[in-house]
Amino acid sequence: MAVYAFIFPGQGSQSVGMGQELAEAFPAARSVFEEVDDALGEKLSKIIFEGPMESLTSTENAQPALMAVSMAVLRVLEQDGGLDLAGKVTLLAGHSLGEYSALAAGRAFGVAEAARLLRLRGQAMQKAVPAGEGGMAALIGVTLVQAEDICTKASAKGDVEIANDNGGGQIVISGKSAGIDEAIAIAKEMKIKRALKLPVSAPFHSSLMKPAEDVMAEALAKAEITAPIVPVIANVTAERETDADTIRQNLVRQVTGRVRWRESVAAMVGMGVDTFVEIGAGKVLSGLVRRIDSEVTGLSVGTPADIESFLKTL
């Protein structure tokens, strides 16, 4: 018997039209998009289904949009497929904003609350640093030690930190624009396989996001959060969490903290998980999982056909 973890994608997995086939095929999926539209007081679903891509990629839209697609998939699995989440799934986890999707999946808060929090989170992260002052870069074919060394040296030109330890030799760094440029130059000198600037508008998961962390601390203090029905692995600790107050604190810390994805996957494997199922848009996380541990199975479930195939394996 497979031991399942459901994992939820983060920013970068969005594409125009994601979830549309689901919404057309299943009333359960449609109801999720309607719930998100109502919570935000606007037709985010129109941007998700029709674009333009520029609007969908905007942080304040991408974050609730990706959560909406993940929750639409999950609701179809549960309502139409008869999936018993707590009975079948051992752990939940998500990458950055995906942690909110994981918590919504685990009923720690509702879809509407997740949408409102993610809209605020996206806006606060966008406003935290003036445009052009910060950025991010991906380092490919690098160890954690090498990446930390690059950040230390590059910080002479402007603070740079590790934002995401994604595993499989992929590390994302974040910080001041001048520091990012210097880090790319140092990585090239070190003959790192690839070092490239990412098309993002702010230095996410770095100390420069402190103003956004303060905004989320205030919002999360007021949010109603309960213990999830399935334990969630937190980004900032890579540990299994069920306590509502700890979850609240971790979500605040997550704004400036490192996404410990490699450690999170290793922790889940250590707890017996052998099958990771990416719920929602894209296949980024299932690919990373297989690079982190070639012994595990990584699946992605985001379309009606994917749902049909997955339900047959249960």
Q: What percent of the chain has pLDDT over 70?
A: 100
Which residues have CB under 8 Å from 213's CB, separation 6+? 252, 253, 255, 256
Catalytic annotation on 95? no
Instruction: Please tell me the predicted confidence (pLDDT) of residue 178.
Output: 97
Q: What is the pLDDT of residue 34?
A: 98
pLDDT tier for residue 284 given thresholds of 50, 70 and 90: very high
**CATH superfamily, region 4-128+208-312:** Malonyl-Coenzyme A Acyl Carrier Protein, domain 2 (3.40.366.10)
Question: How buried is residue 132: exposed, middle or buried, by Cβ count under 10 Å (0-12/13-18/19+)?
Answer: exposed
DSSP, res 52 = -
pLDDT number for residue 58: 92
pLDDT digit string, tens, across residues 142-173: 999 999 999 999 999 999 999 999 999 999 99
Overall average pLDDT of the 244-272 stretch = 98
Location of each CATH 3.40.366.10 domain in the chain: 4-128+208-312
Considering 70, 205, 206, 300, which one is annotated as catalytic?
205
What single DSSP character describes residue 87?
H
| Rounded Cα gap, residues 296 and 115, in angstroms | 32
Q: What is the pLDDT of residues 195-244, one digit of tens each?
A: 999 988 789 999 999 999 999 999 999 999 999 999 999 999 999 999 99
The mean pLDDT value of the chain amounts to 97
Q: Is the pLDDT of residue 84 over 80?
A: yes
Q: What is the mean pLDDT of residues 59-64?
A: 95
Q: Using N-to-C axis directions, what is the helix angle for 111-128 and 98-105, rounded to 10°?
A: 170
- Which member of 13, 45, 70, 96 is catalytic? 96
205 is catalytic: yes
pLDDT-based confidence at 6, cuts 50/70/90? very high
Main-chain phi, psi angles of 261, to 5 degrees: -70, -45
pLDDT of res. 200:
82
Q: Are 223 and 109 in contact (CB under 8 A)?
A: yes
DSSP class per residue in 137-162: EEEES--HHHHHHHHHHHTTTS-EEE
Residue intervals of the chain classified under CATH 3.30.70.250 are 134-201
Architecture of domain 134-201: 2-Layer Sandwich (3.30)
Whether the predicted pLDDT of 118 surpasses 90: yes
